[in-house]
A and B are shown apart, each in its own frame.
Chain A
Amino acid sequence: MHFYGHTRDVTGGTDFVTELPERSTVRDLLDRAVAHYGEKLRERLLTRSGALEANVQLFVGERQVLSPDEPLRDGLEAVGEVTIFVVSATAGG
């Protein structure tokens, strides 16, 4: 799992490696990361109702995931890297 953007103050780095059981969802993975980095990460990535924040883009391999409840494995596709970008509108205007 790779974190890019406005997460570094929470994660301290870019890469996080974990193993999950078959049929896990993106939320399971996020829960694992939150358990590792703390609740601040959940606050950064998710809304209070558990949806992805408007400035978070999450990819499983090349596939963009819009809801954390999507499975990590999509059909036969192997789960590769999960990439999370927290985009910030720095210096707008």
Chain B
Amino acid sequence: MGASVAGEDRWIPSTCGGCYSCCSLLVHRVNGTVVKIEGNPESATNRGRLCARGISGIMTLYNPNRVNVPLKRTNPRKGLDLDPGWVEITWEEALETVAARLKKIRQEDPRKLLLTGTVTTQDEVPFARLFAMAFGTPNGWNSGAGNHCGTAEHLLGAVYHASWSKQPDPDHCRYLLNFGSSVGAGSYYCVTGMAQRIADARLRGMRQVAIDPFLSISAEKADEWIPIRPGTDGAFALAMLHVLLHELGIYDRDYLEHHTNGPYLIGEDGLYLRDEQEQLPLIWDPIDGRAKPFSAPDIKAFALEGEYAVNGSKAKPAFSLLKEHLRPFTPEWAAPITSVPAGTIRRIAGEFGREARVGSTIVLDGKVLPYRPVAVMYFKGAQGHKNALLSCIALELLCEVVGASNVPGALLGMNACSLGYPETGNPKWVPKTDRDGLLVAAHWPTPPAPYPPREVKGAETIDLKGMIPTCPGSSGALPLVMADPERFKVPYKIEMNLHLGSNYVMTFANPEQVAEAFKDVFQVSFSLYLDESTYFSDIVLPAASYLERLSHMADWMASNAPVGEWCYHVRQPVTEPIGERRATCEVLLDLAERVGMRQELHACVNLMLQLKGPFALDPGRPYSWEEIVDRRYKALFGEAHGLEWFKEHGILKWPKKVEEVYWKPFSSARAPIYLEWLKRLGEEVQAMAQKLDLPLDTSAFLPLPEWRPCHPEQETANGHDLTAIYYKVPMQTFSGTYDNPWLDEACSIDRFAYHVAIHAETARRKGIQDGDWIEITSASTGATVRGRAALTEGIHPEVIAIAGCGGHWSKFLTVANREGRGVCFEWLMPVGLGNLDIPSLTQDQCVPVRVARSTSQPQA
């Protein structure tokens, strides 16, 4: 048997699915068995490197805890620790059961279907979205990333960078101010590629300052670490803006005039003054001494300051209002809030402002461009707070006032502009403008982009996004609305959840409250493991992992490095699926046929994947998953670059153009330094909330940023004297990788990955020693979790830091569920409107806690 098999020794190109960075792989298969995974050196994304998760993917493939056959529950009762009583069933029985449910719901009201996904299914979720769209439901939710990710940050990514997110320019940046993000250090986008590039940037002299409550893996690589109280980054940024504009007078006048709405005239009602004819925002031309539409061809100059009388109304340029607004936010004001000395804030503002080199230029590819080699990065850490949006606006304005936005050296929208593969011109997207001249993203992973916002329409969806269209990602309100739709005037109840790998009970907030929302829902899970969320499943389908499946989207835009080359990858099975595992997208195609929704699915696929002409799917016949992926590649890259070409070559790459990477000088789009539209939208949301009798705090829909505390002072009473935060570690992706034994080993030898970081002096005061078991009690939920203390000087004395999403309890995860495998932070966080930043529906992720040495200390 198997003479040919015995001789097999192949390296197969594919793409990692350990996180959303999509690193290109070379997988070594010998006699049908995967024996090694390496980074593909040809890839411009990861340049041959992988992180620990990528290398250990082999252990996910062969983990004996994987689900290998379809299962159905026998225990009708559902609960966090109630054994579902799994029994094996055939695929046919499973699919017929699921299809029957889907048909019934589609007949009654398709909105009763929910889709839940996560980042490790980041290739499958987009296709499942098309399935959901074709089905007719608007309801979806990502957890494990979505809610602990960046809804406010992504919103401002659209508004300021025409992109889902952003990166510092690794080729030219000279001063990187990092407010708690993991860029270049193991999480975030383009992880391995940016880690190399940021390391290279530091070698060539880029200075990096980390402003972070914890000396994290990212912060420890900085030249300077400034410990800050959680949730006060916005105050720090406001004080820096004060120093720049009021003390140093550093701002980029030319950029503000031509690339922001800084010159737009704001009336006494806080809204734009508009011309009567076309209703365009007005600016003041000081040479002609009159107001003109912002786009008038005869503008001789723009006023940025002063007060003007226009048609009997008084008005000021937006920049002037911003400057006045910033006057009280001095470093002395910010110091007691942030716990950072005023002198430090002033010094950082000065370093940032001077290094921005306002007025300087650089010649790239024969084009003279502004050179602003500074960037401000932030993500979950700075934005995961009750004051999310206003803090993020303040952080964005730092780059905007000095013109460090989408020009060489600056903060870059993550692949905001693509002119396409030279042979086909696809994929193509170029930032656009709206009627008010403001920037509009041309490409968005979950269309439509959040700006311009949809009209406020009340509770159409189960996540409040119909009412609050500024939330661009997963809504922090979903479990709340789902548990009690009537209260939110949602006219239906979720009856079924298509569940793609998201361990939502462990990756959102208080598991008991989340479980309450899902316990009465018929749940169909496409799962690798029987994790905590599958305790709520009715059917579990054995999903193929990323090493066993073909993807249509192994190259999410976020995966491409911001500079260098475009690089599109293949993700193909490197081995036959083990047991009865099947790829989720193939199963969805099967279900679409059984439900009778092929016409709709093909129409949605054609639209969203831009399959046109000869590549469009015909509603008259079914297609295999391979055929669809082949058509997508050919539609993008031409007939010669179909799936077979990609399977063989692995990647297609070509150089990025200067006008793609540094697109802002080539665009007439303006960024808002005064968010007039947000003020208007807030008034609409407020009116709708009143109409529906919902207690929504809409006070954060403001045109200019301010700072507010996350928690009222009374929450710190009763000895809740510390703040718990959580952060990402590069060895794990949310909760989904904790059962991987190699990663378990890596985390076990890391000092903090499974332990709770606490300041040595704080610990001493509380009688806690290194390695002691401690109990952490939340002021918000009252819950207590246990973990082991890791004493360090590298943390703010008022803070404890918990890594990742450990603390598993599923009896089916025999690696992850052992004692001492991290702490489940979610028990500390409440589900509730009071814990949300309403404009972005972001959860607050810092919790007042009480910490004490545990009375029971297990023997070592």
Q: A residues within 8 Å of B by Cβ?
A: 2, 4-9, 14, 43, 47-48, 53-55, 57, 83, 85-93
Contacts and interface: CB of A to CB of B under 8 A. Distances in A.
A93 B475 CA distance: 9
Given A7-B136, A90-B115, A92-B474, A57 B607 contact: yes
A14 B146 contact: no
B600 interface: yes
Contacts of A47: 455
Interface in B453-496: 453-455, 457, 460-461, 465, 472-474, 492
A88 B129 CA distance: 9
A91 B135 CA distance: 15
Interface centre among A6, A8, A48, A91 (most CB of B within 10 A): A91
A55 B447 contact: yes
B111 A91 contact: no
27 contacts: A4-B604, A5-B133, A6-B133, A6-B138, A9-B111, A54-B453, A54-B454, A57-B607, A85-B603, A86-B138, A87-B447, A87-B608, A88-B133, A88-B139, A88-B140, A90-B115, A90-B139, A90-B140, A90-B446, A91-B115, A91-B116, A91-B141, A92-B140, A92-B142, A92-B146, A93-B446, A93-B474
Contact of B600 (A4, A43, A53, A92): A4
A89 B841 CA distance: 14
Nearest to B469: A54
Ranked nearest first, the 9 interchain pairs of A and B with the lowest CB-CB distance are A90-B140, A93-B146, A8-B136, A91-B140, A93-B473, A88-B138, A93-B474, A92-B473, A92-B446
Contacts of A85: 133, 603-604, 607
Nearest to B472: A92
Contacts, number: 109
B137 interface: yes
B79 to A, nearest CB: 25
Contacts of B149: 93
Given A5-B604, A53-B455, A54-B454, A90 B138 contact: yes
B705 interface: no
A88 B600 CA distance: 15
Contacts of B106: 8
Given A6-B138, A91-B115, A91-B142, 19 more contacts: A4-B604, A6-B111, A6-B136, A6-B137, A8-B136, A43-B457, A53-B454, A54-B448, A55-B454, A87-B448, A90-B139, A91-B129, A91-B132, A92-B146, A92-B445, A92-B474, A93-B146, A93-B150, A93-B474
Interface of B: 106, 109-111, 115-117, 125, 128-129, 132-142, 145-147, 149-151, 154, 445-448, 452-455, 457, 460-461, 465, 472-474, 492, 599-600, 603-604, 607-608
B380 to A, nearest CB: 11
Contacts of B150: 93
A44 to B, nearest CB: 8
B448 A91 contact: no
B145 A93 contact: yes
Interface centre among A6, A85, A86 (most CB of B within 10 A): A6
B151 A93 contact: yes
A16 to B, nearest CB: 14
What's the dominant secondary structure at chain A's contact region?
A: loop
Contacts of B457: 43
A7 B149 CA distance: 30
A93 B145 CA distance: 6
Given A54-B452, A54-B454, A90 B129 contact: yes
Nearest to B112: A9
A48 B137 CA distance: 23
A75 to B, nearest CB: 21
Nearest to B134: A4
A89 B125 CA distance: 11
A91 B119 CA distance: 11
A54 B457 CA distance: 12
A2 B603 contact: yes
Given A5-B604, A57-B607, A91 B128 contact: yes
Contact of A5 (B116, B117, B136, B446): B136
B662 to A, nearest CB: 28
Given A4-B603, A90-B132, A90-B446, A48 B146 contact: no
A53 B775 CA distance: 51
A6 B136 CA distance: 5
Contacts of A57: 607
A48 B139 CA distance: 23
A91 B139 CA distance: 7
B604 A9 contact: no
A47 to B, nearest CB: 5
A86 B134 CA distance: 10
A93 B842 CA distance: 11
Contact of B142 (A2, A88, A93): A93
B461 to A, nearest CB: 7
A2 B599 CA distance: 10
Nearest to A10: B136
A57 B139 CA distance: 19
A60 B138 CA distance: 24
